[in-house]
């Protein structure tokens, strides 16, 4: 059975003592058989996200599928052990004309989900358009725009290569921001402030709207 070659870049990340809450850590995974992107990002509400690590798992196309999936599983497990994320974000597989590519992506994605589930970690699935919209503000942004914004948001001096690495970081950022927004809405709902605000608006004759 053939092995896998791993390309990993580590980045130092300092957590400020004045952060309002402990950082949430997300492992973003851009699944693929030949190249599987991995990116770990930390973040706290109201502060820019911080880069922890980024890398790519590579497997040889001619190797047996079982060996390739095993190699991907072993490396994802190593990342989970080393970086201890709170959540794993995986790109949701979408329909493509190339059925073979879709199958490989789905298989690698399933391996990532199983690895997270084995450790009791929550898994989030995001579509490419959701990721693009979260990072660039445009759900139809191209890869160049996504990479540029990832570099700017994470203050990266060098371009993450290949594109799978940038996509993994974009997935992590997307989930970090979406999850933070969801938690804030839930906290407001639990506190009753949302209902109180809606009541004030109604009394003032203003129609209240909500997030979609």
Q: What is the pLDDT of residue 5?
A: 61
CA nearest 42: which of 184, 153, 159, 176?
Answer: 176
For 141-174, write each residue's pLDDT tens digit. Answer: 999 999 999 999 999 999 998 999 999 999 999 9
Q: What does the pLDDT average to over 187-192?
A: 49
Cβ count near 147 (within 10 Å): 22
Which residues are tagged catalytic?
A: 30, 91, 164
Contact 177, 45 (CB under 8 A): no
Tokens coding 136: 């660039």
Q: What is the pLDDT of residue 100?
A: 76
Q: What is the pLDDT of residue 179?
A: 65
Annotate 32-67 with DSSP letters as a single string. -SSEEEEEEEEE-TTS--EEEEEEEEEE-TTS-HHH
Q: What is the pLDDT of residue 95?
A: 62
Q: What is the pLDDT of residue 16?
A: 37
Q: What does the pLDDT average to over 195-208?
A: 44
Q: What is the pLDDT of residue 201?
A: 43
Instruction: Tell me whether strands 50-59 and 4-10 are parallel, antiparallel or unpaired.
Output: antiparallel
For 59-100, write each residue's pLDDT tens digit. Answer: 999 999 999 999 999 999 999 999 999 999 999 987 666 777
In whole angstroms, give the CA distance from residue 98 to residue 121.
31
Q: What angle do CA 105, 159, 94 make, to 5 degrees?
A: 20
> What does the mean pLDDT of the chain come to?
82
For 32-47, write each residue's pLDDT tens digit. Answer: 999 999 999 999 877 8
Q: What is the pLDDT of residue 53?
A: 97
Q: What is the pLDDT of residue 209?
A: 40
Cβ count near 32 (within 10 Å): 22
Say what percent of the chain tops pLDDT 90. 63
Q: What is the pLDDT of residue 208?
A: 36
């Amino acid at each position: 059975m053939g092995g896998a070659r791993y390309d990993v870049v580590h980045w130092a990340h300092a957590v400020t003592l004045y952060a309002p809450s402990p950082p949430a850590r997300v492992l973003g995974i851009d699944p693929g058989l030949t190249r599987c992107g991995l990116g770990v990002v930390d973040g706290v509400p109201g502060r820019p996200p911080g880069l922890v690590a980024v890398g790519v798992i590579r497997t040889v196309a001619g190797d047996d599928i079982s060996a390739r999936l095993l190699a991907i599983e072993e490396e994802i497990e190593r990342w989970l052990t080393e970086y201890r994320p709170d959540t794993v974000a995986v790109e949701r597989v979408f329909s493509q004309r190339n059925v073979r590519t879709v199958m490989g992506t789905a298989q690698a994605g399933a391996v990532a989900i199983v690895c997270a589930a084995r450790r009791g970690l929550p898994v989030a699935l995001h579509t490419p358009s959701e990721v693009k919209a979260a990072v660039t503000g445009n759900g139809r942004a191209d890869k160049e725009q996504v990479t540029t914004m990832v570099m700017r948001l994470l203050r990266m001096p060098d371009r993450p290569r290949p594109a799978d690495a940038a996509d993994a970081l974009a997935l992590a950022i997307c989930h970090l921001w979406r999850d933070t927004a969801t938690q804030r809405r839930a906290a407001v709902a639990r506190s009753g402030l949302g209902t109180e605000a809606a009541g004030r608006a109604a009394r003032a004759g203003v129609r209240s709207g909500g997030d979609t």
